[in-house]
Amino acid sequence: MDISSLRDRPPGGALTVSELNNYVKGLLDRDRVLNAVTVTGEISNLTDHRSGHLYFTLKDSGAQIKSVMFRYARAKLRFMPEEGMKVTVHGTVSVYPQTGAVQLYANMITPDGVGALYKAYEQLKARLAEEGLFDEEHKKLLPRYPTRIGVITSPTGAAVRDIINVTGRRYPIAAVYLYPALVQGEGSEASLIKALDYLDNSGLCDVIIIGRGGGSIEDLWSFNSEALARRIYSAKTPIISAVGHETDFTICDFVADMRAPTPSAAAELSVPDIRDIVLGLDNCSDRIETALVRCVERMRERLARCTDRPIFSDSAYLTEAHFERVEDLFLNTKKALSDKLAELSSNLKLLSGKCDALSPLSVLSRGYSVVSGEGGIIKSIDGVEAGDELSLRFADGEARAKVTETKRSRTEE
């Protein structure tokens, strides 16, 4: 309704209720303060309407105002408002013409004294904990000697390099399978779930590490996803969560079978140290040899006690052959054990050498490099055109290059 038309009416002219309410609404809608107002108060009478709108009363110790947040604005909320919660509301003040009620139309709500993301994190954490997703009884044991390690992280971050380096140093006979995934930003939640679906359903890996380097709560928010948490909970493969730094905690950390403070620590938790295994074999060999020596000594003592009896005093020739047989058995057993341990040690060194030879880093150290462009690793001249910018990965670093000319080898023509 045009406000000026009401002002031009002669004094004493009667208004309809609709005209009056619309007139007041027009006055409020034109007020610059009320069109962008920020109000603090406590939520009460909260109604989560089936339409998607939120209806509530915002109050303090002395007054209250009816408030509404429409569905389009609510979709941007990171948390669910609760009864009695102290909040700061940003929005506009106007009149609902049908009832004449002054209302606060909320565009944004933030918890008073705590960030919206942190509040959403605490709400989801409490709800999943109540459902039992964090209970120790549901957590799977990590394999003692895994041979295939799955890694879900960014292919360009420091986390994957740390995991490969630590795993190669501690347990070079294990293969590392990287499934590249987005770890922050739009689409990262779906990317992480897709990677976990593949590695878990394929049965390719004995254990899976999922994570990334540190960052703010916004950077790590994909790992606070409820859908990702439920997928980790339902996984058949043991999962280690390695998100952020030692002080960072995400929902993934609580639901995973093992939480590591850093990606490097996750690699250490996933595999044993081969040096400890070799040392254990040596100790086992020493214990077996000692046990055999003691066993033979006890048998000799028992035999000696028997031969010392008068009945055998003149029959030494009956026991001489047994003494020789025991001595032969002892020597043969000792030699066989030594040969077997030598064979196992040789095989272990051979396997370690093969793993080292097949390592991508070992290949790069012999003078080769990995060429990649915008579409990933380039395996053929067909993937390169003049003017393309390429990335060259060497054993000790990376370089950028620009293609000036392409030429197919004669064997391919």
- What share of the chain in percent tops pLDDT 90? 32
Give the model's pLDDT for residue 145. 92
The answer to whether residue 255 scores a pLDDT higher than 90 is: yes
- Residue that wins the pLDDT comparison between 13 and 46: 46
Mean pLDDT of 262-291: 90
Residues 52-78, mean pLDDT to the nearest whole number:
87
Scanning 177-239, the segments in alpha helix (DSSP H) are 188-202, 226-234
pLDDT of residue 113: 59
The answer to whether the CB of 119 falls within 8 A of the CB of 79 is yes
- The phi, psi pair for 2, rounded to 5°, reads -75, 115
The 10s digit of each residue's pLDDT in 31-55 is 777 888 888 888 888 888 888 899 9
Q: What is the DSSP letter of 134?
A: T
Tell me, what amino acid is at 25? K
Query: φ and ψ at 90, to 5 degrees?
Result: -110, 135
Higher model confidence: residue 142 or residue 386?
142
Give one DSSP letter per residue of 15-30, joined into a string: --HHHHHHHHHHHHHT
Q: How large is the average pLDDT for residues 351-379?
A: 76
Is the predicted pLDDT of residue 206 greater than 90, yes or no?
Answer: yes
pLDDT range class, residue 345, cuts 50, 70, 90: confident
Mean pLDDT to the nearest integer, 143-163: 92
> What percent of the chain has pLDDT above 70?
89
Task: Report pTM.
Answer: 0.51
Question: For residue 264, what pLDDT is reported?
Answer: 92
Stronger pLDDT, 412 or 181, i.e. the higher one: 181
> What pLDDT does residue 114 have?
53
Say which DSSP state 92 is in: E
What is the rounded CA–CA span in Å between residue 256 and residue 232?
A: 6
Per-residue pLDDT at 132 exceeds 70: yes
Mean pLDDT of 70-97: 85
**Interior CA angle at 24 toward 22 and 28, to 5°?**
115
Q: In the predicted model, is pLDDT for residue 181 greater than 90? A: yes
Three-state DSSP at 172 gives: coil
